[in-house]
């Protein structure tokens, strides 16, 4: 079956709707496993479980717990992968994956526009373990090609990049990766349900669950979606990075995230609808607006090639306020006027805004920020679930006029 047919037939929102987990007493929610350790009726079964040979037996909650497995199964279904493993944060998922895949002497080709924490990990941390990293413009397949070396193990990118909203052609990059026997790892945090990287050829898909998937800004969490072999490997008691580094999700959190996941399709639709409307209005006012749903976005057509129309272009947009001082004044005024919160992160019911250069991307040196087009006055918006987005737009416009962002 071609990728295109497979992609069209797969619908992650239906996968979420069709999940059927029963509680211990027939509850409509699965029971929460409130235990860190598990008993065995025989010592032999305990030994076999340590060896990884007994399905359905639980050992210790850093390895797996029933609640974490429910959430992992749901997320694997959502991404169309065989299996998944949930972690205590998005960074836990990213660092666990990369530390597991890459050892001293290996090389990573990474997109240069990625979340600041991931950038710092790749630039300052994993290099300390003898892994080398090259950052490239992942929107240009030739740049990735040029960076590949015989020791390249991983190509790493974000479907829609944080904060510049650059879009990579997952299918093309995956073909290139496969030609060279390299694994493609994709962070899909900005475009859940809209784009399904694994169905386009990515080997491993990561999310910060902190964002859209949980959607209530009350916890951090992460997930790694991939083949059953890979997921079993990262949990291996002898050499699995997730088991040994220990960024394990708590069962109570896994259970609350699973409940929030059920409303993700409808939330994503509203985030996308509001963001598109706002982006169109701001652009028409002459504000430099970046949103993949705008025809002016350099990857608008590419996004359309990969996305699910009914979910849309997601809820992230950026504007350029010109100067950092103006950006700061505008954000403070928008918060005072209840447009949303001056806060990092995304996927909340309220709009969140921040200036990435001085916050989420501050780990990236100023010179490199400039090179990649991350300007001082850039404001990143995570558009909320506002019932009346035109009302919100009118308040934003008023704030823009008062702060001189709009004349």
Ligand X SMILES: Cc1ncc(COP(=O)(O)O)c(C=O)c1O
Nearer to ligand X by Cβ, of 185 and 287: the residue is 185
Is residue 84 a contact partner of residue 226, using CB atoms and an 8 Å limit?
Answer: yes
State the CB neighbour count (10 A cutoff) for residue 175.
15
User: Segment 187-206, which members bind ligand X (CB under 6 A)?
Assistant: 187, 189-190
**Residues ≥6 apart with Cβ < 8 Å to 299:** 139, 166, 167, 292
Residue 214 binds ligand X (CB under 6 A): no
Tell me, rounded to whole angstroms, the distance of Cα 40 from its chain centroid: 37
| Complete edge-to-edge strand list for the sheet that includes strand 289-290 | 289-290, 316-320, 378-382, 351-354, 340-342
Residue 222 binds ligand X (CB under 6 A): yes
Nearer to ligand X by Cβ, of 171 and 187: the residue is 187
Residue 353 binds ligand X (CB under 6 A): no
Residue bearing tokens 């025989």: 42
Interface map 242-281 toward ligand X (x if CB under 6 A) = ----------------------------------------
Is residue 384 a contact partner of residue 351, using CB atoms and an 8 Å limit?
Answer: yes
Nearer to ligand X by Cβ, of 118 and 196: the residue is 118
Nearer to ligand X by Cβ, of 7 and 115: the residue is 115
The token pair that represents 280 in the structure block: 């169109």
Which of the ranges 63-71, 103-111, 184-192, 391-399 carries the binding residues for ligand X, by CB under 6 A?
184-192
Q: Pick from 220, 261, 319, 330: which binds ligand X (CB under 6 A)?
A: 220
Instruction: Find the shortest distance in angstroms from Cβ 117 to ligand X.
Output: 5
The token pair that represents 105 in the structure block: 């002497």
Instruction: Find the shortest distance in angstroms from Cβ 44 to ligand X.
Output: 39
Instruction: Find the shortest distance in angstroms from Cβ 162 to ligand X.
Output: 4
The token pair that represents 387 in the structure block: 């019932």
Nearer to ligand X by Cβ, of 220 and 278: the residue is 220
Instruction: Find the shortest distance in angstroms from Cβ 91 to ligand X.
Output: 4
Phi and psi at residue 135, to the nearest 5°: -100, 130
Q: Distance between CA 59 and CA 61 in Å, rounded?
A: 7
Which DSSP helix (H) or strand (E) runs through 337? none
Name the residue number minimizing CB distance to ligand X. Answer: 90
Q: Is 151 helix (H, G, I), strand (E, B) or coil?
A: coil
Q: Pick from 15, 79, 106, 158: which binds ligand X (CB under 6 A)?
A: 158
Residue 210 binds ligand X (CB under 6 A): yes
User: Segment 67-126, which members bind ligand X (CB under 6 A)?
Assistant: 89-91, 115, 117-118
Q: Is 17 helix (H, G, I), strand (E, B) or coil?
A: helix
Q: Distance between CA 212 and CA 377 in Å, rounded?
A: 25
Instruction: Find the shortest distance in angstroms from Cβ 206 to ligand X.
Output: 7
Residue 341 binds ligand X (CB under 6 A): no
Count of residues of this chain found to bind ligand X when the rule CB under 6 A is applied: 16
Nearer to ligand X by Cβ, of 80 and 222: the residue is 222
User: Segment 49-68, which members bind ligand X (CB under 6 A)?
Assistant: none
The token pair that represents 107 in the structure block: 């090389």
Nearer to ligand X by Cβ, of 191 and 269: the residue is 191
Nearer to ligand X by Cβ, of 208 and 375: the residue is 208
Which of the ranges 4-12, 41-49, 182-190, 255-263 carries the binding residues for ligand X, by CB under 6 A?
182-190
Phi and psi at residue 143, to the nearest 5°: -65, -40
Is residue 37 a contact partner of residue 29, using CB atoms and an 8 Å limit?
Answer: no
Q: Distance between CA 336 and CA 305 in Å, rounded?
A: 39
The token pair that represents 224 in the structure block: 């790694």
The token pair that represents 179 in the structure block: 């030609």
Instruction: Find the shortest distance in angstroms from Cβ 360 to ligand X.
Output: 6
Binding-site ranges for ligand X (CB under 6 A): 89-91, 115, 117-118, 158, 162, 187, 189-190, 208, 210, 220, 222, 360
């Amino acid at each position: 079956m071609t990728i295109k047919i497979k992609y069209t037939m797969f619908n992650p929102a239906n996968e979420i709707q069709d999940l059927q987990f029963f509680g211990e007493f027939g509850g409509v929610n699965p029971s929460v496993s409130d235990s860190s350790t598990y008993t065995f009726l025989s010592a032999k079964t305990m030994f076999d479980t340590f060896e990884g040979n007994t399905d359905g037996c639980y050992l210790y909650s850093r390895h797996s717990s029933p609640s974490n497995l429910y959430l992992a199964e749901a997320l694997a279904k959502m991404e169309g992968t065989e299996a998944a493993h949930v972690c205590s944060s998005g960074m836990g998922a990213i660092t666990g994956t990369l530390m597991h895949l890459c050892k001293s002497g290996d090389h990573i080709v990474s997109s240069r526009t990625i979340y600041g924490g991931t950038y710092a990990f790749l630039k300052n941390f994993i290099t300390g373990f003898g892994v080398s990293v090259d950052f490239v413009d992942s929107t240009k397949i030739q740049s990735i090609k040029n960076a590949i070396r015989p020791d390249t193990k991983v190509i790493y990118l974000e479907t829609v990049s944080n904060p510049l909203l650059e879009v990579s052609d997952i299918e093309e990059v995956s073909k290139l990766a496969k030609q060279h026997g390299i694994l493609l790892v994709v962070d899909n945090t900005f475009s859940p349900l809209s784009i399904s990287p694994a169905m386009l050829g990515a080997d491993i898909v990561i999310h910060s669950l902190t964002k859209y998937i949980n959607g209530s800004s009350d916890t951090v969490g992460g997930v790694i979606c991939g083949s059953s072999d890979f997921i079993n490997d990262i949990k291996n008691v002898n050499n699995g990075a997730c088991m040994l580094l220990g960024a394990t999700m708590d069962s109570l959190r896994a259970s609350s995230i699973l409940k929030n996941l059920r409303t993700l399709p409808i939330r994503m639709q509203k985030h996308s609808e509001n963001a598109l409307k706002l982006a169109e209005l701001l652009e028409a006012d002459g504000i430099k607006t970046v949103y993949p749903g705008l025809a002016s976005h350099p990857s608008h057509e590419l996004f359309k090639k990969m996305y699910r129309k009914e979910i849309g272009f997601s809820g992230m947009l950026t504007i350029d306020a010109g100067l950092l001082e103006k950006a700061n004044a505008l954000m403070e005024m928008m918060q005072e006027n209840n447009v949303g919160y001056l806060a990092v992160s995304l996927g909340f019911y309220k709009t969140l805004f921040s200036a990435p250069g001085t916050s989420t991307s501050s780990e990236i040196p100023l010179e490199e920020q400039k090179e990649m087009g991350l300007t001082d006055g850039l404001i990143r918006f995570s558009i909320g679930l506002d019932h009346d987005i035109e009302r919100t737009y009118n308040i934003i416009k008023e704030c823009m006029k008062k702060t001189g962002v709009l004349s």
